[in-house]
Chain A
Amino acid sequence: MSPAKTTTVNTAHSVVEPSARSKRIAGTLVIVYALVTMLPLAWIFLTSIKSPPDSISYPPKILFTPSIEGYCNLFTTRTRQTPEYIASLPAPDGVCDAVTRQRNMVIAGPSNFLPRFTNSLIIAFGSTFLAVGLGTLAAYGFSRFKVPMADDLLFFILSTRMMPPIAVAIPIYLMYRQLGLSDTALGMMLLYTAVNVSLAVWLLKGFIDEIPREYEEAAMIDGYSRLQAFRKVVLPQATTGIAATAIFCLIFAWNEYAFASLLTSGSAQTAPPFIPTIIGEGGQDWPAVAAGTTIFLVPILVFTILLRKQLLRGITFGAVRK
């Protein structure tokens, strides 16, 4: 045995690894922040399962009997009837029917929520698809070719986002009326595409710049055309960036309120301007509004969860590898 048995046990953590204490503090901060930001969402969800009287009681009720009335009211229109008439009806058909009758009302038909929600889906996903598609092509062009005045063009593209939407709302309103695009899904899709394309070009150019051009060059030497090389080599490597960009575009188009309330009123109206107008008897039907909002959150939630990995890398603009 060697007398110098001084094996140094390396307990020091690495320099770049944060200490346990700072990790705990960071974790606590994140949780507190998450709770604060999630409180309104939780409140909306709770309101959606309250009965209308509970939803406006003061002080607000924390404990209450959950009710499905908000969701029933969201999807239906109802008319008031005399108790005698209701008593003469056959047994209620489904939960909503029963709940409605307790309020001395009967279901008259479906509400406009479903068509409005469908409009939102079509317009938001359609415009996201267009913006990301056009943005990818433009970003690739800016990234790989010598575009005359590329910097000026890129600045111009970005500058379209510098104005508040309200500043251009009136001209667009007039233009759309002339073109017959007011209150059409196509009009809204084009408008959101136009707004999002600038964001898409800028984000995607960053991602595509990071893909070494040697990959395409290798493909082109190996007998592929530029377009084929783009499809086989660039697109697969840009998926992260494309997914992240798509989420940003989708969130904008999904939540957009100002243009939607100005340019749509009937058949092309989207959910955001529709939801706050849900009126019950004697004022706003808060549980129904909350139910609409809750359902409105679901698509973004699903999309984000599906693409969360790409989103994380996308938000950090490629800084987090793997």
Chain B
Amino acid sequence: MADVTLKGITKSFGKGGAKRAVDGIDLAIADGEFVVLLGPTGAGKTTTLRLIAGLETPDAGTVSIGGRPMADLAPASRDVAFVFQQYSLYPHLTVYENLAFPLRSPARRMEAAAIDARVREVAKMVRIDHKLENRSTRLSGGEMQRVAIGRALVRRPSIYLMDEPLSSLDAKLRGELRLELKRIQKDLGATLLYVTHDQIEAMTMADRIGILAEGRLVQIGTPREIYADPANLHVAARLGQPHINLLPVGLLPDVPAPPGTTTIGARTEHIALAREEGGNARVDWIEHLGDQNHLHIKLGEQKLVTLADPDVAVSPGDRISLSLRNPLYFGQDGQRLV
């Protein structure tokens, strides 16, 4: 394991570099750290990983792994492991052969017995040891992803790079594998860069989250920091269920907004509600999620959504009074004002 540093890496595609996929990213990943890059489709997540792996050459900037600059080093010499978003397994090989494939590479020259021991150990770790002789095409989606992750784990590279490895799975499996992956990473003390568009994966697994938007690293910090202390509107909008409510300033006159505020961001924890005849807001409708309710509220023409316990006694049409407690303030340019 080793630390990984990106300095100003930039990559464009298309004629004359028309499309900036990655735009001046600076990122330092410490040894043994689990960093998640969170961003929507097209944000440049895959490209960032491919640049680190050496599958793409940066237009500018440097990648170094363990202090060693990686410029002009072929992927095989970089000592990274990669879990691809798609096409993760070789369809013509069995599970066992897929897991052994990285160890059998000419660069590694491991002995057959050592390979066998390692494959079986990792197969147990990712709980696929009962299907070692299966063709890799004869697996369920969850099993395939386990093998794909296992194929990275058979090696002890400087860094594991994972490109949305769980995105093709259903919610339940995703939840399980999320936990397992975090456990394995902790046990191994592995350095891991994981990219996803799923905020829950980011929040639950990361030591630090980097928010990626249009090729730029907008903010990086612990999950708590990113959630509670977003640098701008974009970051605030990436996290939180339900989605953060964005209100024009002045909608609620008694909010102590700092000068220059144009937008107020209010999550559930910023919203205080009470039933009150003649209150300033009205319950529009209620979505029942089981353990919780989504309360849809109308404040004048403005719609808000907030979480509420199922036993909060309100029904659609009720008047309520709504006030904000320490909401987030954003200026004209979307930057946070404190």
Contact = CB atoms under 8 A, between A and B. Distances in A.
Interface of A: 212, 214-215, 217-225, 228, 232-233, 236-237
Nearest to A220: B75
Contacts of B108: 223
A151 to B, nearest CB: 15
Nearest to B137: A322
Closest 4 CB pairs of A and B: A223-B107, A223-B105, A222-B102, A212-B87
Contacts of A212: 86-87
A211 B249 CA distance: 54
Interface stretch (B64-72, B76-84, B227-235, B268-276): B76-84
Contact of B106 (A214, A225, A237): A225
B76 A220 contact: yes
B200 interface: no
Interface residues of B, number: 24
B242 to A, nearest CB: 36
Given A214-B86, A214-B87, A224 B107 contact: yes
16 contacts: A214-B87, A215-B90, A218-B84, A220-B74, A220-B75, A221-B55, A221-B76, A221-B80, A221-B82, A222-B81, A222-B105, A222-B155, A223-B102, A223-B107, A224-B105, A236-B92
B317 interface: no
Nearest to B161: A221
Contacts of B87: 212, 214-215
Contacts of A214: 84, 86-88
B285 interface: no
B23 to A, nearest CB: 23
A214 B87 CA distance: 7
A221 B92 contact: no
A237 B55 contact: no
Contacts of A237: 91-92
B53 interface: yes
Contacts of A219: 101, 105
A222 B81 CA distance: 7
B160 to A, nearest CB: 11
Given A214-B86, A228-B106, A221 B91 contact: no
Interface in B39-79: 53-55, 74-76, 78
A171 to B, nearest CB: 41
A220 B82 CA distance: 10
Contacts of A233: 90
A241 to B, nearest CB: 13
A248 to B, nearest CB: 23
Given A223-B76, A225-B106, A237-B91, 15 more contacts: A212-B86, A215-B90, A218-B84, A219-B105, A220-B74, A221-B53, A221-B78, A222-B76, A222-B102, A223-B105, A223-B106, A223-B108, A224-B76, A228-B105, A232-B101
B75 A217 contact: yes
A233 B101 CA distance: 10
